[in-house]
Amino acid sequence: MQSQILPSRAALVDRIAMQFEYGQSLICLVGNSGLGKSYLAESFITDKYSNFSKAFLQLSAHSKDVDIIRQLMEHTFRAPLVDQKLSLTENFFVLNSEQPAEPCLWVLDGARHLSDELIAELQNLAARAPNTLYILVTAQAPNLLPNALDIHLEPLSHAESKQLMRMFFSELPPDDDPIFATFISEARGNPSVLLDWQQADQQLDLRANMPSKGKQKHFFIGAFSFIITLCLVAALYNKQLLDMLHIKQGVAEQSPELLLEPTVLEAQAVLDERLSAVQTAQAEVANKDSHKDNESDTQAVTAILGALLTIPTDSGPIVEDKVTEIEDSKAELIDTKSLTDNGEQLSLIPEVTQEVYQPDTEEVTSLEVAQSIPEIQNEQISGAAHDNTWFLSRPDSEWTIQLLAVTDKKVAREFINQHGLANFKVAEVLRNGRTWWFVTLAPYASLEDAKVARAKLTTDLLAAKPFFKQISQIKQQIQQSQ
């Protein structure tokens, strides 16, 4: 194994080898730029499978499919004659028929530079190879190879970041140094950023380049001028506020006096006067049916007064309008020669008056609806819980079987309901700004117990290519998310 490698990275190398031994022929190592995917791939091909025929290709934007096929065949067979007209699978089977190949290990660094045709050929060859063939590919995004097992490379923890820097730097500041601590936290576990540490650039000499007395004098003069300017601006602003306040007070004093609205008693006195005039006119005009007409007029006027007496005190303009309407109606009644329909004309007046004071039920109804709206808006739907607390409480030595890792919680829930899982646990992890849900079967006291449980899974679950993950790793991912 390479001398400069962290324990967590060494454990990941062992995990990749274990996945190959479990029958997974095509693995994709996924991680952001700078996390050390190339370094980890070199460590894997150096330390594992010493008796295999190995090929390590570092791809670039200028790599062509023909050159990649030729290099892979040259590392797999002795002095092969590669036909450029044939595909990767066809060349492999033709050369293998001439000279059987030994167990092979191919490592391709930079899968984003592979063409779609070559990706399909790698998938086909990994499934149909007559001999043992392990293919490891590094990529920055998942699902680049559809049939491959994606293993994610996580950033380093705070302790591992310091340990990595001690491997490559002989002298480092103490841990409580504020500049060094800020650099470690802002690196966010990225090895490429951590290894760019420059000791000379991160030091601050407070005694160097002390400002001279002349510069200090200019600085104080500039600061004093700035303070004086702020004081002048504040005084001017205060004067403008005082002027505006005086103007508002003058306008308030010059405002016209409000005229008092007529009260209900005044309106009643006016109506009494008009009522007496109407009764006199009726007495002079209607000699025959005076008794009958006076009785009907009295009832109509009584209804008018009863309606007016129910008017609130703040409805003066409405009273004046109704008095005017009553006067017009009475004038028409006096001018009319025939008073046979007098009762019908007077009966119309109370109906008009009663429309003014009819209660407005729509306002009450709208108020009740408006008060009930906040109760509907405050309803909230709670989401399903996760098992992060359960994972944090378990011992680090226990194991789990990871069945699924998705970014949609609904997909994870449907997966659990579809397969009827009983002892499942779901972990919620924040990775690269996205939330992941890991569906696992747990707990298992040892790796052997987990292997036995994996062998008992159904065919549909085994098709999802579940793998083993220690609870300590899940706890570390949860803590990093928090």
**What is the DSSP annotation of 79-92?**
S----TTS-HHHHH
Same domain, 86 and 179: no
Same domain, 347 and 293: yes
**Residue whose tokens read 């989401």:** 383
- 215 lies in some domain: no
- 270 lies in some domain: yes
Same domain, 469 and 399: yes
Verdict on whether the full-model pTM lies above 0.85: no
Number of domains in the chain: 4
Average pLDDT over residues 326-333: 49
* pLDDT higher than threshold 60 for residue 381: no
Question: Are β-strands 26-30 and 149-152 bridged in parallel, bridged antiparallel, or unpaired?
Answer: parallel
- 245 lies in some domain: no
- 217 lies in some domain: no
Q: What b/e string do you get for 144-166 counting C-beta neighbours within 10 Å, with b at 16 or more? A: bbeebbbbbbbbbeeebbbebbe
Report the CATH number that the domain containing residue 18 is assigned in CATH: 3.40.50.300
Same domain, 432 and 342: no
Same domain, 336 and 437: no
102: enclosing H helix or E strand: none
Same domain, 148 and 162: no
Helices 316-335 and 290-309, axial angle in degrees (round to 10): 170
- 81 lies in some domain: yes
Same domain, 146 and 181: no
pLDDT in tens, 169-180: 888 888 788 888
pLDDT at 365: 38
pLDDT in tens, 56-115: 998 988 989 899 999 999 888 888 888 888 999 998 999 988 888 889 999 999 888 889
Same domain, 277 and 292: yes
Among 101, 124, 152, the domain boundary falls at 152
* pLDDT higher than threshold 70 for residue 186: yes
Same domain, 74 and 103: yes
pLDDT at 138: 93
Same domain, 62 and 85: yes
Among 97, 126, 152, the domain boundary falls at 152
Residue numbers of the domain that contains 113: 7-152
Q: What b/e string do you get for 227-249 counting C-beta neighbours within 10 Å, with b at 16 or more? A: eeeeeeeeeeeeeeeeeeeeeee
Same domain, 425 and 462: yes
Among 171, 194, 217, the domain boundary falls at 194
- 41 lies in some domain: yes
pLDDT in tens, 250-306: 777 665 444 444 444 454 565 667 667 767 766 665 555 545 555 555 565 555 555
- 26 lies in some domain: yes
* pLDDT higher than threshold 90 for residue 440: yes
CB 439 within 8 A of CB 412: yes
CB 141 within 8 A of CB 31: no
Same domain, 88 and 128: yes
Phi, psi of 29 (to 5 degrees): -90, 115
Report the CATH number that the domain containing residue 464 is assigned in CATH: 3.30.70.1070
- 296 lies in some domain: yes
